[in-house]
Structure 1
Amino acid sequence: MTDALLVLNAGSSSVKFALYEAAQPGEPPLLAGQIERIGDDPRLATGGTSEPFGQSTDGHAALIGGLLAAIGDLAPGDVRIVGAGHRVVHGGARFDAPVPIGDAVIAELEALTPLAPQHQPHNLAGIAAVAAAYPDIPQVAAFDTAFHRSQSEIAERYALPRGYAEQGMIAYGFHGLSYASIAPRLPALLGPEARRVVVAHLGHGCSMAALLDGRSVATTMGFTALEGLPMGTRSGSIDPGLVLHLLSERGMDVDAVHRLLYDESGLLGLSGISGDMRDLLASDAPEARFAVDYFVDRCARAVGSLAVSLGGLDALVFTGGIGENAGEIREAVGARHAWLAIPPPLAIATDEEGVIAEATARLV
């Protein structure tokens, strides 16, 4: 019997999962996979295979429940789950490090749901599903926002009256677990002289971060995971006056604007075809090409802005589903920065689950 730690990483359209030997969380996982294309055609991918999983109408909660019911059959050998770690997207101003999960923590995380509506409910669903399946094991929350707490007040503030910042209305930044996975590996991969690095986490959700000696000094996402780059279905940054116009002049209510910005925009809105970069790169439609070109343009602009925050740029690194697998996107963004005379962009596989596993082992 092997004691194992379960890690759940629930994103907006996928759930990654892994089992780690509790005594050696830094080693490769005993099992790893993901449920992908949630909300469309959910599939379970493990060990190089992918097969239908659940129903197209199943949400994260139902699919995670099904995964936990099947985990024993998926695991190699005889394992006993003794703890669980979860990616939690928004930790607010208080949570700047992983914490054990209890009722009080859950209540605080639920209160942050409006700031990460495409993620926080799924993270909490995973916590509830594990509590139901394994009521006696400890659980740990690791936060995407924590990595960016090294940023200066200038970087995290909005140009609003000071009282708003004192109420927690600041730029938190996200994808911190991914950046925390990448940052320690950069000196060995790039050399110690590469101190100023922009890391682009590009997937269904997209952000970039400026890292100086491995610490975050600026990032594209802000108070919510809606700001910054265009994403699969999220608009990214737009003129806030446009939102006011939609509410005051076009008769849209808050719920309609919310759906527009979170679910109907981004690559999906630009192309009218798909929010999945794989579909767009495979399409001959001019609308698909436009969405790809738009995405590359906004990514290239963001790199320039973050380079200013660093006082120059030594390297550009890509990670995430698009960043790791779409060479065309990496090359197109990199080509826009030939004038910076930096090495060709580097793709590095992120390991958010490994970061969560090690944090879980420390606290369990």
Structure 2
Amino acid sequence: MSFTVLAINPGSTSTKVAIYDGEVLRFEEEIRHSHDELREFQTILDQLPFRKEVIIRTLRSKEFQLSELDAIVGRGGLLRPLKGGTYKVTEKMKADLRMGVSGQHASNLGGLIAAELGEGYEIPIYIVDPVVVDELESVARISGHKNYEKMSIFHALNHKATARKVARELNKTYETSRFIIAHLGGGISVAAHMNGLAIDVNNALGGEGPFSPERAGTLPLSAFLDACFDQKHSKDELNKQLIGEGGVVSYLGTTDMREVEQMIASGDEYAALIFDAMALQVSKEIASLSVHFGGNLDAIILTGGLARSASFVSKVSERTNFISKVIVSPGEDEMKALNEGAQRILVGEESAREY
């Protein structure tokens, strides 16, 4: 039986919309939002009517009726920590999304828009694997000081979807697999996945792990503390050093790794150094997580946009293939992952979780 699902993914400067019939994509649209359009709204929540109307217009242009739907699934936002899976959008969840209980981001609108579009149609509304998925082992939460507990914030949607895909290719299930997965994008998250749970991962928004095209990762703490108190930088400026203006862009002035590879090809030795340093840090993060598995690891998986770079993949693979075989699954199809999460519930493969 084929179920028709609307997937919604609000990003900081775009809204993606897709219709699936089972696993078949009927159509997908990415609506870009200009700075002038978005600056009219004081808060993320204020954007909700605007983004909802954009989606309605897009569906009308495709002559699609909401009455055709069996379910709607939205990108999960910054909720309270939860286990991975597909969740029903409930009143409690909507209240936390409106409040921004764990922070403000456009993804908070995913479940809210989905719920409003579904009103009156008596169809289920879901979110899937938001970035706040937290399945850390207790021992992995210990930071080094009792006042600070490690948090799990990572690219859970792509991690989990890629894990399921590779597990099928290996004739296994995600729940019986043992992977280290590195999501390589604007932010980088590396996680140990054991038997269907991400038991250890760097906080990709919390100044941990490898540096990335736009994030600093783990910095020398003493030097950063000095910067916090030297009265030369505001808190906002320091936050930007961690996220947005850290990593590759702080060294080379660009977040586009294709440009970096062009610099290297033209003989820029400094660009080559930074490129190799990021690959080294990713490799070290993978190696550090390998201690969870005692040599019993099914695969190291490289995914995300940067996994399309043959040079970067080669550098990481050469440093880590002694641990386990390296499988490359480039890109991140978030819309497909959202649909798959909803379809698993609709076909009875899984049960929807309660928030």
TM-score where L is the length of structure 1 = 0.74
Selected match of 2:109 from 115, 125, 129: 125
Distance 1:287 1:71 in 2: 48
Distance 1:260 1:349 in 2: 26
Unpaired segments of 5 or more residues in structure 2?
39-43
Deviation at 1:259, TM superposition (A): 2.2
Match of 2:34 in 1: 55
Deviates more, 1:342-351 or 1:186-195: 186-195
Does residue 241 (structure 1) correspond to residue 226 (structure 2)? The answer is no
Deviation at 1:122, TM superposition (A): 0.5
Give RMSD over aligned pairs: 3.6
CA contact (8 A) 1:64 1:126 kept: no
CA contact (8 A) 1:299 1:333 kept: yes
Selected match of 1:358 from 305, 318, 343: 343
Distance 2:51 2:259 in 1: 24
Q: Secondary structure at the match of 1:31?
A: strand
Code of the aligned partner of 2:169: L
Distance 1:72 1:209 in 2: 41
Code of the aligned partner of 2:17: F
Match of 1:211 in 2: 193
**Superposition map of 1:99-118 within 5 A:** 99-112=87-100, 115=102
Deviation at 1:56, TM superposition (A): 5.1
Match of 2:202 in 1: 220
Structure-2 change in CA distance of 1:363 and 1:184 (3 Å): closer
Distance 1:110 1:170 in 2: 25
**Superposition map of 1:176-187 within 5 A:** 176-187=156-167
CA contact (8 A) 1:30 1:76 kept: no
Match of 1:66 in 2: 54
Q: How far does the alpha carbon of each residue in 1:155-186 deviate from its partner, in whole angstroms, 9 at most, with x for none? A: 1232332xx57xxx442242222222122333
Q: Secondary structure at the match of 1:263?
A: coil
Code of the aligned partner of 1:311: G
CA contact (8 A) 1:319 1:349 kept: yes
Structure-2 change in CA distance of 1:147 and 1:63 (3 Å): closer
Distance 1:336 1:309 in 2: 18
Does residue 346 (structure 1) correspond to residue 328 (structure 2)? The answer is yes
Deviates more, 1:352-361 or 1:287-296: 352-361
Q: How far does the alpha carbon of each residue in 1:32-81 deviate from its partner, in whole angstroms, 9 at most, with x for none? A: 35x4xxxxxxxx5xxxxxxxx44354448567753542233247899745
Code of the aligned partner of 1:317: I
Match of 2:41 in 1: none
Distance 2:126 2:228 in 1: 40
Q: Secondary structure at the match of 2:255?
A: coil
Q: How far does the alpha carbon of each residue in 1:272-305 deviate from its partner, in whole angstroms, 9 at most, with x for none? A: 1x21223322334555434322221111111111
Deviation at 1:207, TM superposition (A): 0.8
Deviates more, 1:274-283 or 1:56-65: 56-65
Q: Secondary structure at the match of 1:159?
A: strand
Deviates more, 1:67-76 or 1:311-320: 67-76
Does residue 5 (structure 1) correspond to residue 5 (structure 2)? The answer is yes
Deviation at 1:8, TM superposition (A): 2.1
Structure-2 change in CA distance of 1:80 and 1:190 (3 Å): closer
CA contact (8 A) 1:142 1:359 kept: no
Q: May I ask how many residue pairs the two structures share in their alignment?
A: 328
Structure-2 change in CA distance of 1:287 and 1:69 (3 Å): farther
Structure-2 change in CA distance of 1:259 and 1:64 (3 Å): farther
Distance 2:99 2:145 in 1: 22
**Superposition map of 1:136-175 within 5 A:** 136=120, 139-145=125-131, 148-149=134-135, 151-161=136-146, 169-175=149-155
Deviation at 1:12, TM superposition (A): 5.4
Q: How far does the alpha carbon of each residue in 1:218-252 deviate from its partner, in whole angstroms, 9 at most, with x for none? A: 21226x45432223322112233333222212432
Match of 1:252 in 2: 233
CA contact (8 A) 1:91 1:143 kept: no
Distance 1:320 1:298 in 2: 16
Code of the aligned partner of 2:314: E
Structure-2 change in CA distance of 1:111 and 1:71 (3 Å): same
Q: Secondary structure at the match of 1:204?
A: coil
Distance 2:98 2:74 in 1: 14
CA contact (8 A) 1:174 1:225 kept: no
Structure-2 change in CA distance of 1:363 and 1:300 (3 Å): closer
Match of 1:276 in 2: 256
Selected match of 1:296 from 271, 279, 284: 279
Code of the aligned partner of 2:214: T
